[in-house]
Amino acid sequence: MFWSMAVDRRKIRKSADFAKLLGTGKGREFGVGAADLTRWAAIVVGEPAVRPPMRGAVSSCTLTLEPIASRGTWSGSSPFTPTDPQSTGDQPVAVITRARLRAGRAVAFWRAIDPVARDLRNAEGLYCAFGIGEAPVGFQGTVSVWRCAADVVRFAYRRPQHAAVVARTPRQGWYAEELFARFHVLDIDGDREVIGWRDGQ
């Protein structure tokens, strides 16, 4: 996979509108010391769908997503263009967050989100969650899949740990760049154990 990250990155970007090859965290752990060298991720935007080669993979899982809301930028671009999807109100929702941390604020950021990461493990309606990163330090994000949009709102704004971090973010200025996007999950293909799937509580 290290070789694929080196040689396939440019090829994928030529075939897609937007593409990122990413490392991941162990289980539902987040932070600098949580890197999982056995699991890698790719976020690819394009029509038709472009699949990375996944060299050496023994199992894989692909999520097909439809953007329903997105704010912020990733490497200076806005990769996810929301459509006007017809929601049933109870279909699974995926959330991708991504941030480029300011060097002088990174330590304070990790301290602030540690209670959020612990609280996330028992969040109602959570199917899976894992960290993603373009580099070991400073370029961090998360991927999570939820039972429905109401579960996302409940965790983001009604759980005190996460709500406190949301309130502090504008004051602290942790991010040099950030992105938050929500998606309808259209399809899940492959081995769900790869993404740490469990039935929502």
Q: What is residue 28's predicted lDDT score, i.e. its pLDDT? A: 67
Identify which has the larger pLDDT, 196 or 30.
196
Q: What is residue 155's predicted lDDT score, i.e. its pLDDT? A: 86
Q: Tell me the mean pLDDT in the region 59-66.
A: 95
Per DSSP, 122 falls in state T
Query: For 131, how many CA atoms within 13 A lie in the half-sphere containing its CB?
Result: 29
Per-residue pLDDT of 67-112, as tens digits, reads 999 999 999 999 999 977 656 568 999 999 998 888 777 777 767 7
Q: Tell me the mean pLDDT in the region 61-65.
A: 95
Report which residue type is found at 157.
Answer: Y
Q: By three-state DSSP, how is residue 137 classified? A: coil
Per-residue pLDDT of 130-185, as tens digits, reads 989 887 666 788 999 999 999 998 888 766 666 676 666 666 677 889 999 999 99
Per-residue pLDDT of 130-144, as tens digits, reads 989 887 666 788 999
- pLDDT category of residue 196 using cuts at 50, 70 and 90: very high
Q: Which residues of 124-160 are buried (b: 16+ CB within 10 A; e: fewer)?
A: ebbbbbbbbbbeeebbbbbbbbbbbbebbebbeeebe
Identify which has the larger pLDDT, 31 or 56.
56
Which tokens in the block code for residue 33? 């010391």
Identify which has the larger pLDDT, 31 or 127.
127
Per-residue pLDDT of 2-50, as tens digits, reads 677 777 778 888 889 999 989 898 876 666 667 888 899 999 999 888 8
Q: What is residue 88's predicted lDDT score, i.e. its pLDDT? A: 59
